Amino acid sequence: MEVMMSIVCGILFMAATYLMLSKSLLRIIIGTGLLSHGAHLLILTMGGLKGGAAPLLGEKAKSYVDPLPQALILTAIVISFGVTAFMLVLAYRSYQELGTDNMDHMRGTDSHE
């Protein structure tokens, strides 16, 4: 199971990287979204899968899955959501101001000012 999940995570990372290297701002943000999905799954996988019942003491099970990675992921989900939302509005605003979402047109260095 962990092997399969590792491969799935790898594929998510790969797709995310490919999208982030593209020109369109929207695709870059989609890429970051995929990347955070991959990272969350990876954390869960690394904590070990299916080791027992859900981490609710009411279950009265012999063993539970590791609750710590879940707490970490929950935090990460919220943070990545905040950042994604911010980036989306940033993209929206920059489109409004600059009239483009092509990263090549937003290029600038000191020597090209």
Partner 1 sequence: MSLLHLAILLPFIMALFVPFLYKWFKSVHTGWFVLLLPVFLFIYFFRYINPVSSGSNTYSTVNWIPSLGIQFTAYVDGLGLLFALLITGIGALVILYSIYYLPRAKEQLHTFYVYLLLFMGAMLGIVLSDNMIVLYTFWELTSLSSFLLIGYWHTREKSRYGALKSMMITVFGGLCMLGGIILLYLVTNTFSIREMVTQAPIIMEHPYFLPAMLLFLLGAFTKSAQFPFYIWLPDAMEAPTPVSAYLHSATMVKAGIYLTARFTPVFGLAPEWFWLVTGIGIITLAWGSFHAIKQTDLKAILAFSTVSQLGLIMSLLGAGSASLHFESLDNKMFSAAVVAAIFHLINHATFKGSLFMAAGIVDHETGTRDIRKLGGLMSFMPITFTITVIGAFSMAGLPPFNGFLSKEMFFTSMLKLLEFNLFNVETWGILFPVLAWIASVFTFIYSMIIVFKTFTGKYQPEKLDKVPHEAPLGMLISPIILASLVVLFGIFPNVLSFSIIEPATASILPYLLEDGEQFHVHISHWHGWGPELYMTLGVIGLGILLYLGLAKWKLVYKLFPEKLTLNKAYDVSLRGLDKGSLKVQELYMTGFLRDYLGYIFTFVVLMTGWALFSKSAFTFETAGNAPIGIYEIVLAAVMILGAVTILFAKSRLTSIIALGSVGYGVALFFVFFRAPDLALTQLVIETISVSLFLLCFYYLPELQKREKLPFKLANFLVSLGVGTVVTLIALSANSQRVSETISSYFIENSYKEAGGKNMVNVILVDFRGFDTLFEITVLGIAALGIFAMVKLRLSKGEES
Q: Which residues within the stretch 29-68 sit at the binding site for partner 1 (CB under 8 A)?
A: 29-30, 33-34, 37-38, 40-42, 44-58, 64-68
Q: Which helix (H) or strand (E) holds 71?
A: helix 67-98
Smallest distance, Å, CB 99 to partner 1? Answer: 7
HEC readout, 77-107: HHHHHHHHHHHHHHHHHHHHHHCCCEHHHHC
Can residue 10 be called a binding residue for partner 1 (CB under 8 A)?
yes
- How many positions of this chain bind partner 1 (CB under 8 A)? 89
Contact residues for 15 (Cβ-Cβ < 8 A; gap 6+): 31, 34
Strand partners, 102: 24
Smallest distance, Å, CB 55 to partner 1? Answer: 4
Smallest distance, Å, CB 77 to partner 1? Answer: 5
Site for partner 1 in 76-105 (CB under 8 A): 77-79, 81-86, 88-93, 95-96, 99-101, 103-104
Smallest distance, Å, CB 59 to partner 1? Answer: 9
Angle between helices 25-46 and 67-98 (to 10 degrees): 180
